[in-house]
Amino acid sequence: MVQERTGSPHGQGGPAAKVAVVTGSESGIGRATALALARDGFDIGVTWFADEADAQRTAEEVRGHGRSAQVRHLDLTRLPGPESVIDEFADALGGLDVLVNAAGDNRAAPFTEMAFEDFRHVMQVDLEGPFLLSQRAARRMIGQGRGGRIINITSVHEHTPLPSSAAYNTAKHGLGGLTKSMALELAEHGVTVNAVAPGLIATRMSGLEGADVHTVHRAALPVARPGDPREIASLVAWLASDAAAYATGQSYPVDGGFLIANPQFTTSDLGAGEGTP
């Protein structure tokens, strides 16, 4: 489990805050997760890819909860190299207790028409990036000797394929397998590794960012609406807590019943492009 630290990274004495790095925290699930962890007492490393101003807004909201925040650019299409951001955050914030791999992307096309460049792009962002970031984080956590948490944001499409998204399906299935492999090897060091698999969530990727989810009807889903990013973040926050010390190697769907209904092959009610988080 994550052990309480003593001593401030700024040399002021007393218990030091725990530190979480949340990739893709400029918006959506990443932002909601960063704020949930800040409310739970974590200092936060915020990363952005497209919009630094959005990331700075996330950081300001973190600080509004009385926590420290650092902001860094992270481009997972330029691997290897960007994974060094883990050590930058740990050095700036005084350690590393939690990594949440929330950054992701999809480029949809029928399998026979998908360009190799698009396939590689999705694999880099959604699988190779989390591999390198998690490897760097695990080394840091092991070296600190107090355990830690790695939480991968996959998708319901870790478990069932999304049509015309071979790259996304492959990457998310792969990230699910990587989660289990890491969990098996890192448990002896007190580092747990889990996945959270969102269904249709009101984010930029789904085209529903900022929507009041209780006013959007999706009849194909048992819970007939999209999810709010905060509904994903609440589970991530639990997995990052001491209460989850015995949970590892699992994937936790949060999908309004999508996987039990699996409506994507029988209805268009989900809407174009809205099967992913």
Active site residues: 168
- Contact between 40 and 237 under an 8 Å Cβ cutoff? The reply is yes
Q: For residue 177, which of 200, 150, 154, 147 has the smallest C-alpha distance? A: 154
**CA 45 to CA 38: how far, in whole Å?**
10
**CA 219 to CA 48: how far, in whole Å?**
34
Q: For 71-82, b where at least 16 C-beta lie within 10 A, e where not — what string?
A: bbebbbeeeeeb
Instruction: Give Cα separations from 219 to 116, 254, 267 (angstroms).
Output: 35, 17, 9
Q: Is the dihedral of CA 259, 165, 176, 233 positive or negative?
A: negative
Using DSSP bridges, classify how beta strands 148-153 and 191-198 pair: parallel, antiparallel or unpaired: parallel
- Say how many Å lie between the first and final Cα of the chain, rounded: 29
Question: What count of Cα atoms within 13 Å lies in the side-chain half-sphere of residue 112?
Answer: 0
- Provide the token pair at 20: 């979480």
Sheet holding 98-101, edge to edge: 69-73, 42-48, 18-22, 98-101, 148-153, 191-198, 251-254
